[in-house]
Chain A
Amino acid sequence: MPALLPDEEADVIRNRYKPDVIEGDMDSIRSEVLDFYIKLGTKVVDESHDQDTTDLHKCVSYICDFTSDLDKSRLCILVAGALGGRFDHEIGNINVLCGFKNMRIILISDDCLIHLLPGGQNHEIHILPSVVGPHCGLIPIGMPSKSTTTTGLQWNLNGTKMQFGGLISTSNIAKDDTVTVHSDSDLLWTISIKKSQDRLQ
């Protein structure tokens, strides 16, 4: 965080950007980092006993329980750091989207964002062209999709079948400010995030 705000003092930044919770199996966090945030009042939840679920899964479960009185359609979980690096980690994180398919969870990197579009629902994706797009894709993760229909894309799908080994929609282009998607099965939606130099002013 301090490196992203180079004109300010590191300690000021670290105090401003204090996590509410640190959760996980604690095998990576440095001890001086843990001490620093504990002193500031961050809650630490040690889940090292649980080797069956990923760190992201634990965090999503925690957020679910912590916000149990909130209507889940109003909750959106943004996740940074889920992509890149080890592929099995990346896939494990994508699997969390599939495991909690009725929650809004968005994986975000410098290059793109990814979220699930659960099957059987009509999805309207509102594109902000100043910050996202145009490169996008629809991916039948987990099982072939018998029929997908879209509007708003350069190469729309029209009751089209998609599966790995055959057609999947990658390197597509979002042409309209609203993209609609309807599919019989869960799809991953991904769209590129504009680099600073590409953003419309």
Chain B
Amino acid sequence: MEVVHHHSAFLLPPAPAGHRTSLSYALVVLNQRLPRFAPLLWQHANLRLCADGGANRVFDEMPALFPDEEADVIRNRYKPDVIKGDMDSIRSEVMDFYIKLGTKVVDESHDQDTTDLHKCVSFIRDFTSDLDKSRLCILVVGALGGRFDHEIGNINVLCRFKNMRIILISDDCLIHLLPEGKSHEIHILPSVVGPHCGLIPIGMPSKSTTTTGLQWNINGAEMHFGGLISTSNIAKEDIVTVHSDSDLLWTISIKKPQDRLQ
């Protein structure tokens, strides 16, 4: 049976130059307040996209994360490669600023059928068509919180692109899909994530899920909304394994700076 490994190394500083990492990261910034570790994710990424108003967030909020440096220096350093979406939220001065710096702008205002995140994931998939998709990991900030229908629309993108690694990240937690029928090994870095976690049968009941490494492991039990779903669980070990007959969302908390192990 295929084993799929999941890591959260993107929450640690990038490995020194010369060390090849096994994953290639892309970053998508959506239109919510940037998490405090957005600069770290930016450093890991080889490709950085802003979805529409996400460009306003980078323009306004990256400088605020570096209060000791000049805003213009920060804006030049954190320049998105692409701005994509229907362009109804990005401010014109922000668009002009990044166009002058060489950012590519892809106007998709004609396409009202897919969310901004969906457009960005499609773009990344096409842009990296020669890359083995198991080596590509798309990090997304700004997908959670705010309007619930937006949040669910973003989670649906994880379900639509279930064979791609896409991780939604906020200040409080991260979420990604564990596709059905595979053996998942989730490598926990206790200095940066956990221990609060959960497994959610999004979209349909799960007839049988089995886990190891959790405080309350599941042993072939059924999960469905209205009945048992695994929330407020605790990751006890450094590897959590999950196998299920249907797609599950995995979520784990991200440690606040004051809670991190030194």
Q: Does A89 contact B (CB under 8 A)?
A: yes
Tell me if B160 and A165 are in contact (CB < 8 A).
Answer: yes
Partner of A112, one of B147, B205, B231: B147
Question: Given contacts A54-B232, A142-B226, is CB(A91)–CB(B200) below 8 Å?
Answer: yes
Do residues B173 and A87 form an inter-chain contact, with CB atoms below 8 A? yes
A144 within 8 A of B: yes
From A85, A95, A136, A192, contact of B226 by CB (8 A): A95
A interface list, Cβ under 8 A from B: 54, 83-89, 91-92, 94-95, 98-99, 101, 109, 111-112, 114, 135-137, 139-144, 163-166, 168, 170-172, 186, 190, 192
| A112 close to B156 (CB less than 8 A) | no
Residue on A with the closest CB to B168?
A87
- Could you tell me if B231 and A170 are in contact, using CB atoms closer than 8 angstroms? no
Check A170 against B205 for contact (C-beta < 8 Å): no
The residues in B between 124 and 141 inclusive whose CB is less than 8 angstroms from any CB of A are: none
Q: Name which of B170, B200, B227, B231 has the most chain A CB atoms within 10 A of its CB.
A: B231
- Complex CA–CA separation, A192 to B147 (angstroms): 7
With A95-B225, A165-B203 as given contacts, are A170 and B149 in contact (CB-CB < 8 Å)?
Answer: yes
**Which chain B positions have C-beta within 8 A of A98?**
225-226
Within 8 Å of chain A (Cβ to Cβ): is B181? Answer: no
- B213 at interface, CB cutoff 8 A: no
Report B62 CB to chain A, min CB distance, Å: 23
Q: Which residues of B contact A (CB under 8 A)?
A: 115, 144-150, 152-153, 155-156, 159-160, 162, 170, 172-173, 175, 196-198, 200-205, 224-227, 229, 231-233, 247, 251, 253
Is A135 touching B149 in the complex (CB atoms < 8 A)?
yes
Docked CA distance A182–B198 (Å): 31
In the complex, which residue of chain B has the Cβ closest to the Cβ of A110? B146
Are A137 and B152 touching (Cβ within 8 A)? yes
Question: In the complex, which residues of chain B have a beta carbon less than 8 angstroms from the beta carbon of A89?
Answer: 231-232
With A112-B147, A139-B152, A171-B149 given, is the CB distance from A88 to B198 under 8 Å? yes
Residues of B within 8 A of A142 (CB): 201, 204-205, 224-226
Is the CB–CB distance between A136 and B251 below 8 Å?
Answer: no
- Which 8 pairs from chain A and chain B are nearest by CB? A164-B203, A142-B225, A137-B149, A88-B198, A170-B153, A92-B231, A98-B226, A165-B159
Q: Which residues of A contact B144 (CB under 8 A)?
A: 84, 87
State A165–B200 Cα separation when bound (angstroms). 15
Select one of A85, A109, A114, A172 contacting B172, CB under 8 A: A85
Please measure, in the bound complex, the distance between the C-alpha atom of A112 and the C-alpha atom of B149, giving whole angstroms: 9
- When the two chains form the complex, which single residue of A87, A144, A170 contacts B150, counting CB atoms closer than 8 Å? A170
13 contacts between A and B (CB under 8 A): A85-B172, A86-B173, A86-B251, A87-B251, A91-B229, A92-B231, A99-B226, A111-B148, A112-B147, A137-B149, A143-B224, A164-B202, A168-B152
Instruction: Kindly identify which residue among B146, B170, B202, B251 contacts A88, using a CB–CB cutoff of 8 Å.
Output: B251
Chain B residues near A94 (CB-CB < 8 A): 225
Do residues B200 and A88 form an inter-chain contact, with CB atoms below 8 A?
yes
Bound: A178/B197 CA distance, A: 39
Residues of A with C-beta under 8 A to B149: 112, 135-137, 139, 170-172, 190, 192
Is A87 a contact partner of B153 (Cβ separation < 8 A)? no
Which residue of chain B has its CB nearest to the CB of A107? B148
Q: Which of A114, A144, A190 has the most CB of B within 10 A?
A: A190
Expressed in whole angstroms, the minimum distance between the Cβ of A183 and any Cβ of chain B is: 15
Contact A170 B224 (CB under 8 A): no
Q: Quick one: which of A54, A137, A139, A171 contacts B231, CB cutoff 8 A?
A: A54
Select B204's contact among A87, A163, A186, A192, beta carbons within 8 Å. A163
Contact B172 A86 (CB under 8 A): yes
- Residues of chain B with a CB closer than 8 A to A190's CB: 147-149, 152
**Closest B residue, CB atoms, query A109:** B148
**A83→B151 CA distance, assembly (Å):** 11
| Contact between chains at B231 and A83 (CB < 8 Å) | no
Cα A167 to Cα B233 in complex, Å, equals 30
| In the complex, chain B residues whose CB is within 8 Å of the CB of A170 | 115, 149-150, 152-153, 156
Q: Is the CB of A112 within 8 A of B148?
A: yes
Give Cα A93 to B147, complex, Å. Answer: 16
Q: How far is the CB of B74 from chain A (nearest CB, A)?
A: 27
Closest to B171 in A: A85
